[in-house]
Structure 1
Amino acid sequence: MSSIFWIIVAGAILTFLTRIGGHLVLSRFERIHPRVEVALNAVPAAVLTTLVAPAAATADWRGLVALAFAGLISLRFNALTMFLAGAAMIILLRQLS
């Protein structure tokens, strides 16, 4: 097996253990402090920002158009619809040009 395969397997195992570890730690508490809950609710937005910001900074016009389109979609629809619409737009723009 190639080393890339084992890197992927190790990453999957570490991701799984991290998720299980977080669940085990939080399940020990009867009630979560409101500050911790607010911080945990902010994690998805922080992760999305770390993925989108570098891509937006280095994107060509097609990427920026798709990003703006996804932003407009996000004002009206849920996150899954926004991701799908943004992906469809970038695929369409790349195929047309």
Structure 2
Amino acid sequence: MALDTLNLLAILGMAVVTYATRVAGLALAGRFDLSPRAQAAFDAIPPAVLIAVIAPSALATGWPETAAAAVTALAATRLPFLAVVAVGVIAVVGLRAVV
């Protein structure tokens, strides 16, 4: 399989733009004094994006995955990250085995 030069340039261009936007965000974040309300809004962005990515697949694949996502969400309110990952994996494997 050969990689076309135009495709390679497009991929490299997208990588540069992605990297630049991330670096610019980190460089500019420390220059602004945010109100507590704005800081809370910025702190809520990563979990909101994660839920937006996970929820469609968790709800569209079947009841074992949906139930495992709910169990994992409940575990996330009490347990550290690594334990939550373990609970999620065990829940989805266990519920798929039941089906």
Offset at residue 56 of structure 1 (A): 2.8
Moved segments of 4+, more than 3 Å: 5-15, 91-94
Q: Which residue of 1 aligns with 2:21?
A: 18
Offset at residue 40 of structure 1 (A): 0.9
Aligned mates of 2:18, 2:84 — CA distance in 1: 25
Offset at residue 54 of structure 1 (A): 0.8
Aligned mates of 1:72, 1:38 — CA distance in 2: 22
Q: Which residue of 2 aligns with 1:77?
A: 79
Flag the structure with more relative contact order, 1 or 2, with Cα contacts below 8 A and sequence separation at least 6: 2
Aligned mates of 2:52, 2:61 — CA distance in 1: 15
Instruction: Show structure 1 runs of 5+ residues with no match.
Output: none
Aligned mates of 2:3, 2:83 — CA distance in 1: 36
Q: Over the residues paired in the alignment, what is the CA RMSD in angstroms?
A: 2.9
Q: Secondary structure in 2 aligned to 1:48?
A: helix
| Residue identity matched to 2:40 | V
Indicate whether 1:43 and 2:55 are aligned. no
What is the TM-score with the length of structure 1 in the denominator?
0.67
Instruction: Show structure 2 runs of 5+ residues with no match.
Output: none
What is the TM-score with the length of structure 2 in the denominator?
0.66
| Residue identity matched to 1:76 | R
Q: Tell me how many residue pairs correspond in the alignment.
A: 94
Alpha-carbon displacement from aligned partner over 1:40-87 (angstroms, at most 9, x marks no partner):
111122112202221233121220221122123123213443233213
